Structure formats: structure tokens, C-alpha cells
Amino acid sequence: MKHVPRARFWLVLILLLVGLFVLQRFCATGDRAEIERTVEAVTVGKKPSHCETRTTPRYLVQITGAKPPFADDICEREFAESRTRSVQTSEIEIDGDEATAVMTLRGGSLDGSRLVVKLVDAGGDWRMDRLVSFRHFDRPGFDRSYRREFLEFGSPARSADCAIRRSRRLSNAEIEHAILYEARRVFAPIPVACDRDGVERSLVGSIADPQFDLPQRVVRCAADEMKTLSDPELVRVERSFIAYGEVLYRCDRNAIFAYMGRELEATQDLDPAATRCVLQVFRSRSVPAAIRLSYDEDAYDSLIDRCRDVRVPSFRGQRRPARRLGEGTLVEMTDS
């Protein structure tokens, strides 16, 4: 073995250590850039696919107030309707496969606020995992955005003023806690209290959407039933896909199944026998279970595959997702 002079040995060791330091700094710089891109995609980006590729299930549950499978659909709608114009990410701290950062938002419901967020490394991709806390809550920015949302919803100015008065009963600390842990529960009663007619109109409008092609008797039945609900009951219908679906099932469950059959044949390329197979499973379940199944993409696709006639060529990968009742409404629904 050839002898390595002491001076050369130390030179090699120093160069190795320097190389490792440079590599660590390079990796850290790459991680920081990826974290900034993730924060921007989740807060500013309008791609619904980011719900799946840029967040964790825990984050979806936190921001939507819903459990799977409903959280995904709510997130996709909110991403598409995001009003946040820009975000500044700072104070990034990386600890293995976890990281924290501070984001300052411009535009949207938290205009001017600064929040601490947690991210996790999921197989090389940094994903938003949780809103941790507020560094600064911009109450004037929140009030402006909250009032604007009512006006854009179509509520009269007096209803928007009513909503601001009711929200001001909450302290800054209470609003911060609500946003982090229970926004839907805290804020859902306000639209019903301040603009009940508008909430009813929005819910009925979603049922009357021509894409669903439901009979007018179903639309009238749903409208009449909503008028009989107490404010807390209407809040639940507004917040919950299941409560909303139960109204439709009570009005005419056969009309709902007829709509589902048309969607299955049109979007899933099913023959009549396979369509009947899928509908039979839905008919055999309770209303809450049937609604959950329709929103659980994995279970729904598995059911369709089981019912698909094996003699019919597979169209997997070319299917369009069926449009589900409750999508496209102005209300923010969760689960029960």
C-alpha cells in the first residue's frame, strides 16, 4: 500500500468536508426553493390538482372542516376560486423530513395576515401539512374580504353589514382559533342568519342546474322543504353533502338514481347491465353510505370495475368523472 504523506491526508480530508458542506447547502437551497413553490401553489395557485399533489390529508381536513372523501372535493373548488394574489415565504426551518415557514398573504380572506405553516417531505415532494399559528392577524383585511364575499355571493349590502356585525362579536383570538380548527362550524351560521333567502336560493339553484336534468317537481320539493327547515337545520344542509343529499332523496330517490344512470352510461362507458349493477349497490345502501360512496373515488372506481362487462373493451384512463349532485354550489359543504 502506497504511503500517503500526512500533509496530503489532511488536504484530502479538508476537501472532503468542504464538499460535504457545499452539498448540504445545495440540497438545503433546493429544499427551500421547493418549499416556497409548494406554499405558493397551495395559497395562490388555482390548480385543483394541487389538492392531491401539494397537500397532505391532514391539511385538507383542517382547511375544509370535512373528512375524506368530501375534503378533496371542497379543496378542489376552493383552489379554483382562490382570491389570494401573492404570498411571501420566509423563516424557513428544515429538520429532516419536516419544515416550518412563515407565509404572508396578500388578497383573499387572510389579506395581510402572517401564519406559521408546517410542511412534510413526502418522497421528495414537500407538501403543506398544517396551519400552525398566527404571527399576525389582519382584522381589517379579514373584514374587507368577508364583506366582499357576501356581496359577490349576491347578498344585499344590508346582509353583508349584518355578517360583519356578527363576526365582530368574535375577538381576534377567537377568529384565529376558528380558522385553525373550526372555521366551518363558527362561520356557517352567519350566512343563514344574515341572508337566509340567498342561501336557500343558492341551494335550490344548484339542484336546478340543467346539467343534472332533474324533474321540476324535485326542484320544487327541495325548495319547499328548505323553507320549512329551522335555521340550524338549514345550516346543516348548507354545510353537509349528506344532509343536502338527504333532501333530494326524500323528494324523489328514483329521480336521483335515473340521473346517476345517465351519468354512468355517458361518462363511464358502461353498458345497461353494468349500470344496473352499480345502481343496485347504491340502492342497497343507506342514504349517507350511498352519498359517501359517490364521493370516494377509489371505492367508486372499484365498484364500476367490478360491474363492468368483461367482454366490453376497457376505457380505463379515458373516462370523464361523473358530475355529482352538490358540486358547483356556492355553499361550502362538508361531511356530517
Question: Do residues 184 and 142 make contact, with C-beta atoms less than 8 angstroms apart?
Answer: no
Kindly report which listed range (114-123, 206-215, 318-327) carries the lowest average pLDDT score: 318-327
| Helix pair 57-64, 70-80: axis angle to 10 deg | 70
Task: Read off the pLDDT of residues 243-267 as tens digits, 9 standing for 90 and up.
Answer: 999 999 999 999 999 999 998 888 8
81 to 46, 75, 77: CA distances (angstroms): 7, 10, 6
What pLDDT is stored for residue 299 in this prediction?
A: 92
CA dist., res. 154 & res. 253, Å (int)? 31
Average model confidence (pLDDT) for the chain?
84
Nearest alpha carbon to residue 116 among 103, 106, 99, 129:
103
pLDDT, position 65: 86
Share of the chain above pLDDT 70, in %: 83
Q: Residue 218 in contact with residue 251, Cβ under 8 Å?
A: yes
305 phi, psi to nearest 5 deg: -65, -35
Residue 170: its pLDDT value, please? 96
CATH of 29-136, one of 3.40.50.150, 3.30.365.10, 3.40.630.10, 3.10.450.50: 3.10.450.50
Q: Determine the average pLDDT of the residues in 315-321.
A: 42
**293-305 burial string, b = 16+ CB within 10 Å, else e?**
bbbbeeebeebbe
Where does the pLDDT of residue 6 fall: very low under 50, low under 70, confident under 90, or very high at 90 and above? low
pLDDT band, residue 179 (cuts 50/70/90): very high
- Is pLDDT of 183 > 90? no
Question: How confident is the model over 92-107, as pLDDT tens digits?
Answer: 999 999 999 999 999 9
Listed by start position, the domains of the chain span 29-136, 192-336
pLDDT band at 164 (very low <50, low <70, confident <90, very high): very high
Least confident of 71-85, 144-158, 196-210, 215-229: 71-85
- Per cent of the chain over pLDDT 90 is 62
In whole angstroms, give the CA distance from residue 162 to residue 178: 19
Residue 45, pLDDT above cutoff 50: yes
Query: Which strand (E) or helix (H) includes residue 40?
Result: helix 6-43
